Chains A and B, each alone.
Chain A
């Protein structure tokens, strides 16, 4: 088998093509979003949301409605519970989050492991890119379009708040509002991305791309674009690996992303588009 076969062989399967499209779409938008997840230290909240929405997913699977609806419902409930619990001053916000997430995740497992439930839990936990339906693809596409628009519109406030939140407040922005907008975008992204990667592994695509490009990127735009590209490529690599080695698809994609994160943060590379732009600006000013 030569190289072209290695690359073209999986493309003959419609299932694999759908999986590839899903991974590229999710990788693109979540890879860009991941820069803000790490900048605003939202990895733990993202993980909590992803685990906490499990009961929503399981109920959707049991009821036979599109998983993305269950995911959105579950994520809204989880976010509401976490927000409510973490306002209680008696236990810290992270203990409160742990209580809510433990409970919700337990409920999801309980529902899914009860004798009457169809055995789909592993899919919901670890994802099944090869089981992607057209509904999933459409929701991923919608997420990519809406998310890209939101990230573009919010770009300057996000930069200003991540860099210096009180200073951004003095400039007339509302840091709390900017954070809330980002958080809502993250919640929707989690709900949509669990279709491909499952509740336990979705964090990979929301954290790993940014970790990979963080040290190399010299400005937020470059970090987002390169994170998106890297996530799409690493996701595809994971799918190819899963095809040729016969390994579990969701876990292969997640591990490929983690490997990319490790490689990216260890290798000495540097993305410098900011420099060229600044030079152009200087010339224009002169």
Chain B
């Protein structure tokens, strides 16, 4: 009878916030004082920029499921990379690109890439990843970092990738933002106006895939949507036009990221879950404040269930 060969997450003693005494409330200045947390702060701010910008279009276009799936799909690849010393970025990028191409090639609308096929792929990615991690490479301790991110294991290369992703997201927003917004509001009308709907979609998918890989080290494979969907969804509650949505979404993403990082140091947990919980709480509060009750009387057209 072999022992239960699974990984034990969270068992390693090198927790998520060294240099901060566990159990004490860290001063917010610690975020700036410790070199490790300075890196984390810079990383999360850069990710907030690209998550906020691209997230706005993700929400407009209804690509939330894709953003979630593309992060998860990278999991087995980064497990292999992590264990073999191969570049996790390259591995993640190829997995994300393969997934985005697969969705695109499936020839359906990007919003609906075959519901059960996506579900299967997610399960296969997670199952395969965990099997590789626990039984092939026995890289148990790394798995929670890969799934939920880390505030302290970040290095200059991660920072550079996030910087590149943020710059790219900014450039893409300036160049294609108007098209994406038009397609997001009404893809049929945009097609009738002669806008390249399909190419715009492919470009958005590609950017989201790239940015999701950049976000992996900090927020992990499972919680990519905490930066790519949640802040933009909160901003959507207030924003009346696209520029306001973009600005609001970046600002909210930045606030959530910094607060989440602080929370993660304080509670000694990974930053991904912290950002996710803060974001959902912010959404819930704002939705209540802006009158969810008034709007529930007119249910959204086409809600699936």
Contact = CB atoms under 8 A, between A and B. Distances in A.
Given A91-B233, A106-B275, A251-B134, A86 B300 contact: yes
B157 interface: no
B139 to A, nearest CB: 13
B65 A99 contact: no
Contact of B267 (A89, A95, A97, A114): A114
Nearest to B15: A115
Contact of A251 (B130, B280, B298): B130
Interface residues of B, number: 77
A15 B4 CA distance: 11
A208 B123 contact: yes
Contacts of B9: 112-113, 119, 121-122, 125
A240 interface: no
Interface stretch (B46-54, B112-120, B209-217): B112-120
B97 interface: no
Contacts of B298: 89
Contacts of A84: 292, 296
Contacts, number: 255
A93 to B, nearest CB: 4
B144 interface: yes
Q: Chain B's interface: helix, strand, loop or mixed, by majority?
A: helix
A122 B236 contact: no
A251 B135 CA distance: 10
A110 B227 CA distance: 16
Q: Chain A's interface: helix, strand, loop or mixed, by majority?
A: helix
Contact of B283 (A47, A103, A109, A204): A103
Given A47-B119, A210-B116, A109 B8 contact: no
Interface string A22-48: 000000000000000110011111110
25 contacts: A84-B296, A87-B299, A89-B295, A92-B64, A93-B302, A95-B59, A98-B64, A102-B276, A102-B279, A103-B276, A106-B279, A113-B9, A115-B22, A119-B9, A121-B10, A123-B6, A128-B6, A207-B119, A243-B1, A246-B2, A246-B5, A248-B6, A248-B131, A254-B127, A255-B128
